[in-house]
């Protein structure tokens, strides 16, 4: 492990330098990893593990679009591609990467395949932490582990292919075999993590749900919409409003934050921008902190998970979701975004 110092707070993390892919392969050499679900996260993790030489199979519903995608990706029906129930029977480590609602629905089929000494693997603690809502209660004679990549499945695969990896948290809920620690670390490295940091199932669930509803998606989209609307209401054109709200953020500033941090980004902006931003940062922080406190409390209380399970059961859920996303995409804000993106200069190849 590597000890990181966060200004007096230390944390032990695992990198690929001291826990290599070769070590992960050795630990997993007698395992059959069954990836249950072939959505964005399942597909990426399964492909990464296969590319890393780990014996991997996929469980997915026959006749679905994702079944066809799995076949296109080289998974062979009845050899490396099965139904969820059959893959669960064949796997010794079952990666439960179905949607949270589907995990509840498929749990009886997954449970049928559990054998003493197996491992259940999750990338989100939802089903385990809120077992009263999901009914996912593992037997006591199996390991229950978690590796949660801090990014979308698209990034998990993209970063693996370019060799950088994506950071992931890891946790052990139940160690029945004495091998859970080695299993979870090996799995974390095998799916392509850049480094692994420790958490618990509860903390991962609460932080993940808060982050998605907060700065990663909900708050980000809401703040962008608010600023764009304000500029448009005061007579600024779509190009100006979009560029000042989104394009400069995604194409310039956030890249500077990524390189060296927020303070470094500030030092690379004008004095006028820096003075104003430092002052207004406090106002935005004061305004939004109570919202985040409420969000975390509702998440920990199980209200957010209850809503997810309830809404996903509605017969017209998929259509309602598609309609909401279509409305977002058809808004002037994001139509302006599509136009602006189309006008970006194409990258010139070096001679």
In DSSP notation, 231-267 reads HHHTT--HHHHHIIIIIHIIIIIHHHHHHH-HHHHHH
- Residues 130, 103: contact at Cβ < 8 Å? no
How far is Cα 75 from Cα 90, in angstroms, rounded to an integer? 15
Listed in order, strand segments (DSSP E) in the chain are 2-6, 9-15, 33-36, 56-59, 81-82, 93-96, 119-122, 143-149, 166-174, 193-198
Handedness of CA 269, 270, 271, 275 (dihedral sign): negative
Choice among 124, 183, 213, 232 that is catalytic: 124
- Residues 59, 84: contact at Cβ < 8 Å? yes
Going by their DSSP bridges, the two strands 81-82 and 93-96 should be labelled as unpaired
How far is Cα 292 from Cα 267, in angstroms, rounded to an integer? 28
Strand, helix or coil for residue 216: coil
Q: Return all residues near 251 (Cβ < 8 A) that are at least 6 apart.
A: 344
Establish whether 124 is a catalytic residue.
yes
How far is Cα 114 from Cα 90, in angstroms, rounded to an integer? 9
How far is Cα 265 from Cα 86, in angstroms, rounded to an integer? 51
37, β-bridge pairs: none
- Residues 257, 265: contact at Cβ < 8 Å? yes
- Residues 220, 246: contact at Cβ < 8 Å? no
- Residues 166, 194: contact at Cβ < 8 Å? yes
CA-based angle 186:192:193, to the nearest 5? 80
Catalytic center residues: 124
């Amino acid at each position: 492990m590597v000890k990181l110092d966060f200004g007096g707070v230390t944390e032990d993390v695992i990198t690929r330098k001291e826990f290599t892919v070769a070590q992960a392969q050795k630990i997993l050499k007698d395992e059959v990893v069954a990836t249950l679900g072939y959505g964005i996260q399942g597909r990426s993790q399964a492909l990464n593990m296969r590319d890393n030489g780990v014996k991997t199979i996929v469980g997915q519903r026959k006749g679905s679009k994702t079944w066809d995608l799995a076949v296109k990706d080289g998974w062979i029906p009845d050899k490396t591609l099965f139904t969820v129930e059959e893959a669960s029977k064949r796997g010794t480590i079952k990666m439960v990467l179905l949607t949270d609602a589907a995990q509840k629905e498929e749990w009886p089929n997954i449970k049928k395949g559990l054998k003493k000494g197996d491992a259940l693997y999750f990338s989100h603690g939802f089903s385990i932490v809120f077992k009263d809502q999901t009914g996912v209660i593992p037997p006591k004679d199996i390991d229950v582990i978690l590796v949660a990549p801090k990014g979308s499945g698209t990034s998990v695969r993209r970063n693996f292919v370019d060799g950088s990896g994506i950071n992931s948290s890891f946790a052990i809920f139940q160690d029945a075999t004495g091998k859970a620690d080695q299993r979870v670390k090996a799995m974390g490295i095998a799916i392509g993590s850049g480094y692994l940091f420790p958490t618990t199932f509860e903390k991962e669930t609460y932080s993940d749900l808060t982050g998605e509803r907060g700065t990663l998606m909900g708050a980000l989209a809401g703040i962008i919409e608010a600023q764009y609307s304000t500029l448009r209401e005061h007579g600024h054109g779509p190009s100006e409003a979009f560029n000042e709200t989104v394009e400069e953020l995604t194409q310039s500033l956030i890249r500077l934050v990524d390189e060296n941090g927020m303070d470094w980004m500030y030092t690379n902006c004008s004095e006028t921008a820096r003075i104003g931003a430092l002052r207004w940062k406090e106002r935005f922080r004061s305004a939004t902190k109570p919202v985040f406190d409420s969000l975390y409390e509702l998440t920990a209380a199980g209200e957010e998970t209850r809503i997810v399970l309830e809404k996903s059961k509605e017969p017209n859920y998929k259509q309602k979701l598609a309609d909401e996303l279509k409305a977002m995409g058809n808004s002037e804000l994001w139509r302006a975004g599509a136009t602006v993106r189309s006008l970006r200069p194409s990258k010139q190849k070096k001679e």
